[in-house]
Amino acid sequence: MVVLVTGASGQLGQAIESIAEKFPDIEFEFCDSEKLDITDYDNVNAVFNEFIPKYCINAAAYTAVDKAESEPDKAYSINVLGAQNLAKICKMNGTILLHVSTDFVFDGTKKTPYTELDEPNPTGVYGQTKLDGEEAIKELWEKHFIIRTSWVYSQFGNNFMKTMLRLGAEREELSVVNDQIGTPTNAVDLAEALIKIVESCHAELVSASNYGIYNFSNEGECSWYDFAKKIFEINNITIDLHPIPTKDYPTPAKRPAYSVLDKSKIKIVFGIEINNWADRVIS
């Protein structure tokens, strides 16, 4: 069973690679953007012809939320055209596509966890391009799983946790937003959930009716301030941490005020047990 992973140099790609040896029955092919540029149709086609993957995990994405506001064409190229290319070529090869999306497809005005049936309403370029990428996949290739996730962090790549650890080493005090509520997601937990979906498909434990959109994050909810506090606590860093409202930390892109995801569907369909975010913060 060949599983092709795009975006191999990103934090999710590296998280998948870090646990790949736990799955000896899977032949992973990890491709970074130099080997596989998802915006280049001919390149994607050539790589698929080389590896003949049964599954493709698309971990390649433009994720610079604020930068996307000034680079909409680049975000569109990767998040929409890239998704479109993968969907077309997956269909040609009969490859099942697992595509990672985001809580940013929602506007954050809800007060209860978002389900897969809630109406998306992105407020910025990043969220819009991720939603457009979802729509392109749904239109082109029925054998897909779109997994929406949130606040992904790990020891790999650039993310909130690594930023906090760096700032914690540099500063004596720090202010962090406390009125945006969501759920941190350990990238390794997300990687394991993606592989569980692959294994379930390969064992024919799912049917055609199970294709579609799923939510996955760790359990529980917190603010960015709460998350930062836990990171410093776990890593024994003493810092004077101040909670501040979003209005005191303006950014080019608007963040959802509330983006907790309901994981009932993925737990029921795939039998996935999900860790609480507070138990998965890395030291």
Per-residue pLDDT band for 255 (boundaries 50, 70, 90) equals very high
Indicate whether 249 pLDDT > 90. Answer: yes
For the segment 74-84, the average pLDDT, to the nearest whole number, is 98
Q: Per the structure block, which two tokens stand in for 150?
A: 């949130």
For the segment 189-213, the average pLDDT, to the nearest whole number, is 95
Q: What is the pLDDT of residue 282?
A: 86
Q: What's the CATH code, domain 2-159+183-220+259-277?
A: 3.40.50.720
Per-residue pLDDT band for 197 (boundaries 50, 70, 90) equals very high
Q: What is the pLDDT of residue 188?
A: 98
Amino acid at 122: P
Q: What is the pLDDT of residue 125?
A: 98
Indicate whether 133 pLDDT > 80. Answer: yes
Q: For 161-196, what is each residue's pLDDT tens digit?
A: 999 999 999 999 999 999 999 999 999 999 999 999
Q: What is the pLDDT of residue 76?
A: 98
Indicate the domain borders of the chain.
2-159+183-220+259-277
Q: What is the pLDDT of residue 206?
A: 86
Q: For 37-76, what is each residue's pLDDT tens digit?
A: 999 999 999 999 999 999 999 999 999 999 999 999 999 9
Q: Dihedrals φ, ψ of 145, to 5°?
A: -125, 120
For the segment 238-247, the average pLDDT, to the nearest whole number, is 97
Q: What is the pLDDT of residue 240?
A: 97
Q: What is the pLDDT of residue 28?
A: 98
Q: What is the pLDDT of residue 241?
A: 97
CA distance 93 to 95: 5
For the segment 136-154, the average pLDDT, to the nearest whole number, is 98
Q: What is the pLDDT of residue 251?
A: 95
Q: What is the pLDDT of residue 144?
A: 98
User: How would you label 29-55 residue by residue, b for 16+ Cβ within 10 Å and e otherwise?
Assistant: bbbbbeebbbbbbebbeebbeebebbb
Angle at which helix 82-93 crosses helix 125-140, to 10 degrees, equals 20
Beta strands in 125-249 (DSSP E): 144-149, 152-153, 173-177, 181-182, 185-186, 212-215, 222-223, 240-244
- Helices (H) and strands (E) counted in the chain, each on its own, are 9, 12
Active site residues: 126
pTM: 0.96
Question: What Å distances lie between residue 243 and 35, 103, 126, 224, 276, CA to CA?
Answer: 43, 23, 26, 9, 22
